[in-house]
Chains A and B, each alone.
Chain A
Amino acid sequence: MRRYLLRKTLLFIPILLAIITLTFFLVRLAPGGPFDRDKNVPEEVQRSLEKYYHLDEPLIKQYFRYLYGVIHFDFGPSFRKPSYTIREWILMRLPISIELGVYSLIFALFVGCLCGIVSAFYQNTWVDTFLTHFAVLGICIPAFVIGPVLVFIFALNWEILPVAGWDFPQQKILPSISLGFVYSAYITRIMRSGIIEVMKKDYIRTAISKGASGKRVLLIHALKGALQPLVTFLGPATAGLLTGSFVVETIFQIPGLGREFVEATFNRDYTMIIGIVFVYALLILIFNLIVDIIQGYLDPRISYE
């Protein structure tokens, strides 16, 4: 187990290196630059700007300079926000995005698991039919549709929740629901089919013949088996939540890292783009590792060799 973890963690290094290299050259080889928009800048100013950001050096030298910085978690100064370094900026904005992601995940897990379990428990009744249909429909309603619709209903029509912002708890409800909605539908489906699959297993029959009540069998015996496909789904779901936050943060004017990324690409803020891609890649890798570990815990048959 420890060896497996070590190997996986060591693998982070080439993957992250590949991501940084790819992003660096993708961004640099594109036409246009961060200072194109400031028109009529005197040539000396332009030149001293380039010198300050080391843009006048050969690309390869810049690349290695950047890599050297990344090793020390220093992503350089921002091209567009001169008073901050990228690290300060990310440390300021990342917690907001993570908070949003965590709330959405909690919402999705809570609603999804609840609907899935209820649906499996009352299999082939009208409750099940209703919930299954809700899940099929829910998968087709992405955040950028459900978000505005929720705003329209709760914020503009009924005026019970604020339209945008991220300062008070009330402001956090709508964004979290919008972001988690699709995943709650997915989780409902996964939980339902997972439980129904597990209920066919021998050990469940044993539990039932032992005289355990239906609820007990479902919640104690079947649930653990059904959690496995759910945990597998959580890996890609996190990646989806992170990118989904781009849209949700834009709709609700949340000052998170996702919106910052979209802005940075528009502004060609090289260092900011690479920094955010790096942080998101790292987050996804770490989360996938956690998913791996939980999977091993849930199913001891998985070997780590």
Chain B
Amino acid sequence: MKINEIGKYKSLIKKITPELNKKGKWALLLLLTIILSSFIVPTFLNITYDEQNLELGAVKPSYEHWFGTDLLGRDLFVRTLYGIKISFWVGLCATVVALLIGVTYGSISGYIGGWVDTWMMYFVDILYTMPFTMFVIILMTFFGRNFYLLFIAIGAVEWLTMARIVRGKVLSIKQQEFVYSAKALGFSTPRILFKHVIPNLLNIVIVYTTLTIPQVILLEAFLSFLGLGVQPPMCSLGVLIREGVEVMEEYPWLLLFPGCFFVFILLLLNLLGDSLQDIRNEKIG
């Protein structure tokens, strides 16, 4: 079973990567480089992201400090790498939360169909009109700025689109013969749903996961900018940008580096998502 599954993922990766267009391949390569270096490089450096050097204070980028240092003498290069890591973690974890809710909700709604489906999708439509970011802000201020709460709160906001897309796909899958055969064999509904229907959603889920991650990173940075996201001494790209904005008049590099990396990473993620979506559209069309 295990080996079989690994084989399945391998073939999936093989299926996706050669089909990515040039733009998508470059984006994926650069992204992986940035993510890996944000995990690996800090272990080779003898400074940590929260190591202060008050005597040094804020200095311009130099050979010793590639991106300069902030007011507390913390090395911005290390902090940016750390921020990238945290932003990615939040992005990934919150997306997983959104995935779990969205796929379960969407597939149940699509598979059962009928009035249950109508009402479940109606509920999603209503949720769409709610000012959700406000709820996230309330949650974050009132229930302490907990790192785990952050994932769950953001994930609870971002699942709606996923649910809609999954539901649409399930509607078409359940008309296919293998589902009828499974039914004819007398399998239970949960078994058909989780063993036969959901695995076939993998392709579409991967596309929308890559499109959701930048949204989540953006929302996290937005919250951090308001002082509600990741809390010191930890930092994410959003926190770094906020710190940079406060002192940009005197020390512009403190805004420049985190800001550029933030935009660059979002760009790569969006390019990758676009590229995956292009493949999908080509297959349909």
Interface range for B = 35 or more
Render B245-285 as a binary contact track against A, CB cut-off 8 A, 1 for contact: 10011001001000100111011001100100000000000
Q: A26-B135, A243-B131 are in contact. Are A152 and B252 (CB under 8 A)?
A: yes
- Assess whether B248 is in contact with A152, with CB atoms less than 8 Å apart: yes
Q: Mark contacts of A135-157 with chain B using CB atoms, 8 A cut-off: 1 yes-contact digit, 0 otherwise.
A: 01101111011001101100010
C-alpha gap A236/B164 in the complex (Å): 15
Q: A137-B263, A247-B226, A277-B131 are in contact. List 8 more A-B contacts (CB 8 A).
A: A26-B138, A30-B143, A140-B263, A144-B225, A243-B131, A243-B134, A281-B131, A284-B130
Q: Which residues of B are interface residues toward A (Cβ below 8 A)?
A: 126, 128-131, 133-135, 137-139, 141-143, 214, 218, 221-222, 225-226, 238, 241-242, 244-245, 248-249, 252, 255, 259, 262-264, 266-267, 270-271, 274
A188 CA / B252 CA spacing, docked (Å)? 31
A115 adjacent to chain B (CB < 8 Å): no
Q: Which parts of A156-202 form the interface with B (CB within 8 Å)? A: 156
A265 at the interface (CB under 8 A from B): yes
Given contacts A144-B225, A148-B245, contact A265 B131 (CB under 8 A): no
Q: Which of A15-23, A44-52, A59-67, A123-131 contacts B (4 or more CB under 8 A)?
A: A15-23
Q: Which residues of B contact A19 (CB under 8 A)?
A: 130-131
**Beyond A265-B137, A273-B138, is A281–B263 a contact (Cβ under 8 Å)?**
no
Interface residues in chain A, defined as those with a beta carbon under 8 Å from any beta carbon in chain B: 15, 18-19, 22-23, 26-27, 30-32, 136-137, 139-142, 144-145, 148-149, 151-152, 156, 236, 239, 242-243, 246-247, 250-251, 261-262, 265-266, 268, 273, 276-277, 280-281, 284-285, 288
Closest 5 CB pairs of A and B: A30-B142, A140-B266, A243-B133, A265-B141, A148-B245
Check B226–A32 contact: CB distance below 8 A. Answer: no
Question: Which residues on the A side are within 8 Å of B221 (C-beta)?
Answer: 142, 144
Instruction: Assess whether A145 is in contact with B270, with CB atoms less than 8 Å apart.
Output: no
User: Given A144-B241, A148-B248, A152-B248, A26 and B226 touching (CB < 8 A)?
Assistant: no
